[in-house]
Amino acid sequence: MTCRLLPLLFLLLGLSITHAETPVSEALNDLDQVLADRDRYIRQKKARIDALMTEKRHTRPEDLFFLYDRIYSEYKTFIYDSAFTYARNMQHEAYRSNDPTRVAYARIKLAFILLSSGMFNEALDTLHAIRERHLPDTIHTELYAVLARTYYDLVDFNRDQYFTERYTQLGNQYVDSALHYIGSRSGEYLHLRSMKHLRMNNFQAASADLERMLSAFTLTDASLAIAASTLGYIYQQQGRIEDAKLMLIRASMADNRSSTKETLAILNLAELLYKDGDVARAYAYVKHAMDDANFYGARHRKIQVAAIFPIIEGNKLDTVDRQRKLLFAYALVITALSVITVIFAVIIYKQFKKIQEADKSIKEANASLQESNTLLQEVNSHLMEANKIKEEYIGFYFNINSEYLVKIEAFKQAIDNKLMAKKYDDIRFVVNNINLKKEREELYFSFDKVFLKLFPDFVTTFNSFFKEEDRIVLKEGQLLNTELRIFALIRMGIHDTEKIAKILDYSINTIYNYKARVKSKSLVPNEEFERRIMQIEAI
């Protein structure tokens, strides 16, 4: 039994030493929370689109162009097919109004969607068909910016040495043309200029522009994602890997908040995490990237994801296979031990049937000890933020475990003595001396005492959630009752009802009934109750 406890204790100590949070790990936790809410962000996006569709029924024909533009803006980084449809609708309305500015504007929007889906030639054909004369400066700026991005994306997609120089040169020329029409004090100016610096491998100038853009301007999530993602790439090229991760995390969070599906930030982040050995997170993020690419319908993004997905997936499968083999080895050992146990049980079954009862009691005591160890591990993992809590409960469970080991050793010695003396009838007396109920009550009393030492105001604060007549009044000598103990365990971070039921030796339904009865009397809304419990502070 001691040998089985030691690895667990070393594991707990190791976790308390090595599991310190870093800025990147904290940011990754924040990203995971945003990803968990991605369905909510998508519902919000669809709600905005539905509202625009409803508005369409009451829009005058002469205003349809502007409404289609708003719908297009919702779809352009969300769903390619729908964005393409509304870009075409804008184009139709522009031709119907015979307005050259609207025609050019609609063509630029259509070209942007074609570019986003990886249809580079079609995007260039659409852009080059625009008649540039007599267009407003804003249209010139957007036209040249999209042309620049098209040629830059062609460089990234083709990766052909022969065409790279030509495409880069054309992209730079179009950036210069766009900068000519835009104010030098705008965030868009800094973004366009950083694109050119980046393509000229002037990482310092590019990062300076983007850092100024992020700090000096209030950006939408879409603009923030683009700037942060680009800056993350630059930091990566400069060897600033931790800063690169933070920027890519920031970009990925902004992408998810805006329901942007045409993105590379989370894929690049997955690649960095994979190189650092965080295969599990890398696999989860690359799956997000694949889902986004499929959802949007971007051909070139699917190709980019497909290039790294098999590598990460293969590594994950190798890890799973190693774990499977390790579990198989454990299973063989356990099976062998089980066979040996059965053989001995068959040999001595008729002569020592009473010993089986004693063995059953030992197993029950061992199960109780394992439950205590499980509780220790769960409590310890949630007490790393408070050194006082960690020290108190590690000491508490060491004492409990030591007492159980001593009792089990004494029990084993007593059985051995009776067997050696062939006093088989006395074994039942030894077994009957084990008072599991008393042992459990002592365990609860020790838990209550340590918990109230750490949370001396717990009962008072708990009672403040109820009317005077519904508050809990403890009996004399009683530290906590069952209701208080359930929520004390929740305050210690044990939210799983099944675990609470095992610890308190109740059924799951009984725990549910206790919790429901308490919450029904509370002045606090049911959905807020456990959060308020978690806000009760320790010493």
Q: At what angle do helices 137-158 and 100-116 cross, to 10 degrees?
A: 20
Q: With beta carbons less than 8 A apart as the criterion, state whether 463 and 471 touch.
A: yes
Quickly state the pLDDT bin for 305 (edges 50, 70, 90): low
Tokens in use for 461? 């604060």
Task: Determine how many CB atoms are found less than 10 A away from the CB of residue 52.
Answer: 19
Quickly state the pLDDT bin for 5 (edges 50, 70, 90): very low
Tokens in use for 168? 């880069």
Q: What span, in angstroms and rounded, lies between the C-alpha atoms of 521 and 156?
A: 62
Please state the three-class secondary structure of 230-275 as a single string. HHHHHHHHCCCHHHHHHHHHHHHHHHHHCCCCCCCHHHHHHHHHHH
Q: What is the pLDDT of residue 351?
A: 72
Quickly state the pLDDT bin for 7 (edges 50, 70, 90): very low
Q: Is the pLDDT of residue 313 over 60?
A: no
Which secondary structure element, helix H or strand E, spans residue 486, and what is its range? helix 482-491
Rounded to the nearest 5 percent, the helix, strand and coil shares of the chain are: 80, 0, 20
Burial 366-403 (b: 16+ CB within 10 A, else e): eebbeebbebbebbbebbeeeeebbebbbebbeebbee
> What are 470-527's pLDDT values in tens digits?
899 888 888 899 889 999 899 888 889 898 988 888 899 999 999 999 999 999 998 9
Q: At what angle do helices 80-97 and 100-116 cross, to 10 degrees?
A: 170
Plot region of 297 (φ>0 → left; ψ -120 to 50 → alpha; else → beta): left
Please list, in sequence order, all residues whose beta carbon lies within 8 angstroms of the beta carbon of residue 247, skipping any fewer than 6 positions away.
228, 229, 231, 232, 235
Region 76-100: mean pLDDT is 91
Tell me the pTM: 0.54
Quickly state the pLDDT bin for 9 (edges 50, 70, 90): very low
CA 250 to chain CA centroid, Å, is 14
**Residue 164 vs residues 171, 192, 193, 252, 281: alpha-carbon distances, Å:** 10, 19, 19, 28, 34
> What are 105-134's pLDDT values in tens digits?
999 999 999 988 888 899 899 999 898 888
